[in-house]
Structure formats: C-alpha cells, structure tokens
A = this chain, B = another copy of it.
Amino acid sequence: MRATVLHSPRDIRLDDVPDPQLALDTDAVVRVVAACICGSDLWPYRGINEVDEPRRIGHEFVAVVEEVGADVSTVRPGDFVIAPFMYSDNTCALCRRGVHTSCVQGGFWGGDDHAGHFVDAGQGERVRVPLADGTLVATPSVPGEDLVPHLLALSDVFPTGHHAAVSAGVTEGSTVAVVGDGAVGLSAVLAAKRLGAATVVAMSRHADRQELARSFGADEIVAERGKEGAAIVREMLDGIGADHVLECVGTGDSMKQALACTRPGGRVGYVGVPHDVQLNVPSMFGRNIGLAGGVAPVRAYLDELLPEVLDGTLRPGAVFDLTLPLDQVADGYRAMDERTAVKTLLTV
C-alpha cells in the first residue's frame, strides 16, 4: 500500500510500504477514507522536532473496517469508524476516568505497540488498529460524503478545542478568550459557544481566519497580540479579563498572552503542545489563576459529540479549507507550512 513518509525536514513523500496485517486478536485492519494534517505534524516537518530517520506520519483519520481479530466485538468489516488520535483500551483505570491518552495499553499512531508490533500512521491507505474495541467508534451506518469532513474533525482537532474549553471550565454564560487562530483555536471558538459561553473573543490577525472564527460564533475579534492584545481583551470584558482562556498555540509568548487575558479567579485551558513555556507561579497564585489541559483524550469525548455531528447540529469540518488527494500530501504540508491553508483534508 501507499503511505506518507517524512524522510527529513520538508522532504515528505507517498511511499510504497508493507500492507498492514492483523497481528493480535484485538486488532482491526481498516481502509482509510480520509485523513488530515495536524499543526503538530508541522513540528517534525519543519525540523523543529528532530527527524533522524524516515518515519510514517499522521494521526487523524476516518476509515472503513476491512478485517477484525477474533476478540474484536464492537466493530465489523464494512463499518465506518472514527479513529481518535491515540489508540486505547477504553477499560483501564485511566480510560475509565476519561484520560484515554494515559491508557496503560495505549499509544501513538506510527510507532510500535506494547507487544512490539508496528502500528501504521494515519496518512496512508490502510492502518492496523490495535485495541480496536477500545479505539474505534463506528457510526450507525456509512455516512454520506458531505458528513466525512465533520466526522474526520472528530478524530482530533475539534475534541482538542473542546478539551481546552472543558479544561478551562467554560460554562453557560461565561466569557472566553481564545489564543491561537489555527484549526485548534478555531475549533475552540466553536466548542466554547457550544458549551454556552456568552462572549467569545477570538484573537486573530488574519482576515480569512477571523471570518471562520465569526462563522464558528466568535462575538469579538482582537487582532493585536501580546500585552497590547491582552489589555484590549481585559477592557472588553468588564475591565477584568476573561473567565476562561483557551491557549491553542503552545509557545512561551502565547501562554503569557493567555495568562494576561485571564481575570483573577479564572482558568486557562491549554492544548497547544508546550514549547519553552515557563509559568510565573507567584503571579498565578496571587491572582488565583488556574491552568488545566494537555493532550486531548479524544476517545472520552466521542460519545457526546458524535450524535451532534450525525444530526447536523455540529459542523466542525469547516476548518478544512483545502482538500487534496493523498498523492498530493506534500502540497498539503506546504500549504499549511506557508499558512495558505488552515487545515488540509486528504482523500484516500
């Protein structure tokens, strides 16, 4: 089969690789219908995260089940499934507490599983899925093509924005500021409105992303960044700042901006993978500002979110503004690297 391989920074290709096979009785093999490129894929693509040897890449995909192991009972060949961005057993003590990203048997796509068998990554034609019962969520029937982007958005990007909002404690009637206008930040705007936020301020300098933020429900846009932007947000929100701030970037500057936007007693929900983030603990302490979040336990949220996508009330797939066939995956990375696309969907 063909799958995406990152050979070295900015050298990404669709290569011929071995066909996946069932290795364990709890496995499934699935045929990918659509995959996408994540902002976090750009870290190794750009060489900021080291790439010492060619590696498979991609962790967001929807698929049709082709084959299942003897112990798999919740999905069958022919089922349309959503794969969360990590695999997990959905039964261990941590999965039961909703932290599937810390599953004792779980792991990332594109590495070896706990038994030492290779697990395919998502940007390819087929994937061996470990712990298929725990990992995959099937739709009641095979969905129409128009639903595919919205279902694909459930594999990572929307639940990650949702995790920021949940971690920050967004409730009915509260005020929210969102730092970051990438696909996750935009998803966080949608998630905050879905949870009932009265006012959502999106911080974005780009006209196209501002427009998408508006369409996702943003009430206000602030183009300024850093201290200047935070001062405007505070002024806008009772002169004190936002109850909840969603940090969707992960740099030291974006975290500072997020903390400066937060009112005393408020909370930052952070989902941007942290790179050189330092926290001013005494200032957070004096102002009673909390911080929660991390890698989104996507699987934990699917049971709640999927029905709303299926009935059309939740349409998170609007973050995809570029659709390409899998064999143009390199163009998809280039577009996101150069910020001409917010997020690329790959049809397989």
- Measured CB to CB, the residues of A under 8 A from B are 93-94, 97-99, 101-102, 167, 238-240, 243, 263-265, 267, 270, 273-274, 277-279, 281-282, 284-295, 297
Contacts and interface: CB of A to CB of B under 8 A. Distances in A.
B290 A293 contact: yes
A266 to B, nearest CB: 8
A295 B286 contact: yes
Contact of A293 (B102, B167, B288): B288
Nearest to A292: B290
Contact of A291 (B98, B265, B292): B292
Nearest to A167: B290
Contact of A285 (B264, B274, B282): B274
Given A99-B288, A102-B288, A279-B281, 11 more contacts: A94-B263, A94-B264, A97-B243, A97-B265, A101-B264, A102-B287, A267-B292, A274-B281, A286-B294, A290-B292, A292-B292
Nearest to A291: B291
Nearest to A103: B264
Contacts of A265: 94, 97-99, 102, 297
Contacts of A282: 274
Shortest 8 CB-CB distances between A and B: which pairs?
A: A290-B292, A99-B265, A102-B264, A288-B294, A285-B294, A99-B264, A277-B281, A274-B281
Contact of A294 (B238, B240, B273, B289): B289
A134 to B, nearest CB: 16
10 contacts: A93-B238, A97-B243, A99-B264, A102-B287, A279-B279, A285-B293, A288-B294, A290-B290, A290-B292, A291-B291
A274 B282 CA distance: 6
Nearest to A274: B281
Nearest to A270: B285
Given A102-B264, A264-B99, A273 B290 contact: no
